[in-house]
Amino acid sequence: MFSGYIARMHVTPKSLLAVYQTQGHRMYDGEPVTQLEHAWQCGFLAEKSGAHSALQLASWLHDVGHLWVNAEGSPTLRGENDAHEAVAARLLMPLFGPAVSEPVRLHVAAKRYLVSTRPTYGKKLSSDSVRSLALQGGPMSEEECAQFELEPYFSDAVKLRVWDDLAKNASWFEISRDEAFEQLSSLMDAVASQNASLIEQRT
Ligand SMILES: [Fe+2]
Ligand SMILES: [Fe+2]
């Protein structure tokens, strides 16, 4: 199901940036923010929480799958699960490695986990998140929670999820669009060069 979406364009950091430059103005339907505002707010919260750069980038790009599949409106309003976390992880893994792609792949599961493990968490979810929760499998069972905790990027996924839920503030965008794109571009460069030097050290 995802390969068509991903094959549609050659995926590069530049093409990911272009997705936000051309489609970031779209509203995150069901929420009072645009896709660019949501992405920037989530990345900003990660940065202010002292997250490492790969997790900051994951936070920035966690919903790129929504934009990549190019569906208009909120799929959940149509009763659809667009599997945007899986689409995004497939895009991000070859470019930035698992420290970025795994928290992104797990950010939907992290919501299901938090609903089950933190009694107050579910009460704070937005209506779009509540609607998508049902489509995404609902709260995790005890066994699913135990399995989820074994994921190598479990902790980063939970952190990302908490920032994701907070990043839905109307009119919160402290910099210009161009500055936001520059931030994203620098973050992508930083993570790519960290990965390159890690590979160099291993060879
Ligand atoms: Fe998402
Ligand atoms: Fe999100």
- Output the tens digit of pLDDT for each of the chain's 203 residues: 455 555 555 789 999 999 999 999 998 877 889 999 999 999 999 999 999 999 999 999 999 998 988 655 556 556 667 789 999 999 999 999 999 999 999 999 999 999 999 989 988 888 888 888 888 899 999 999 999 999 999 999 999 999 999 999 998 988 999 999 999 999 999 999 998 888 778 77
Residues with CB in 5 Å of ion ligand 2 = 63, 164
Residue 28 pLDDT: 85
Cα separations in angstroms, 197 against 86, 126, 193, 202:
27, 40, 6, 9
Q: How far is the CA of 193 from the centre of ligand 2 (A)?
A: 26
Is the CATH number 3.10.50.40 carried by domain 3-189? no
**Could you say which ligand is closest to the alpha carbon of residue 31?**
2
Q: Which residue ranges make up each domain of the chain?
A: 3-189
Tell me the β-bridge partners of 27.
Answer: 34
Q: How far is the CA of 66 from the centre of ligand 2 (A)?
A: 9
Q: How far is the CA of 85 from the centre of ligand 1 (A)?
A: 6
Q: How far is the CA of 84 from the centre of ligand 1 (A)?
A: 7
